[in-house]
Amino acid sequence: MTFTQLPLTDITADACSSPLARAAIAPESADTLARSLKALADPARLRIISIVSAHADQEACVCDLTDQLTLSQPTISHHLKVLVDSGFLTRAKRGTWSYYSLVPGSLSSVAGVLAGV
């Protein structure tokens, strides 16, 4: 079997481009999504999300997190702050303890955007 290469003059510019089937992600949306994904792209933060979502009412005390993670309390606090600032968790203070809960729909919205990318 032989391979015949087409001369470059026979290939039109339209041959390598296809029409868009849907709108591409806007630059601002890409920036926002990238920040959200960076917040989730850490093993400790993924564990924190998992631990919180496994609790009743998807809410966990910070003491529940320190018992399950092999990290120092300041490191856990840093990860919690990143997740709160990114809109994945909310924080409620009750007495001396802080309770963290998932923001309804926050993970679904990231999954939905990724499904459309």
Taken in order of first residue, the domains within the chain and their CATH numbers are: 28-116 (1.10.10.10)
Residue where the block lists tokens 């809109």? 87
Q: Measuring CA to CA, which residue among 1, 37, 59 is closest to residue 110? A: 37
Whole-model pTM: value is 0.74
Determine the pLDDT at residue 45: 96
Residues of the chain with pLDDT under 70: 1-16, 20, 116-117
Q: How many Å apart are CA 64 and CA 12, to the nearest integer? A: 62
Q: How many Å apart are CA 26 and CA 69, to the nearest integer? A: 37
Tens of pLDDT, residue by residue over 55-75, are: 988 899 888 888 899 899 899
Determine the pLDDT at residue 117: 59
Determine the pLDDT at residue 2: 45
Task: Calculate the alpha carbon distances from 35 to 17, 32, 68, 87, 110 in Å.
Answer: 30, 5, 26, 11, 11
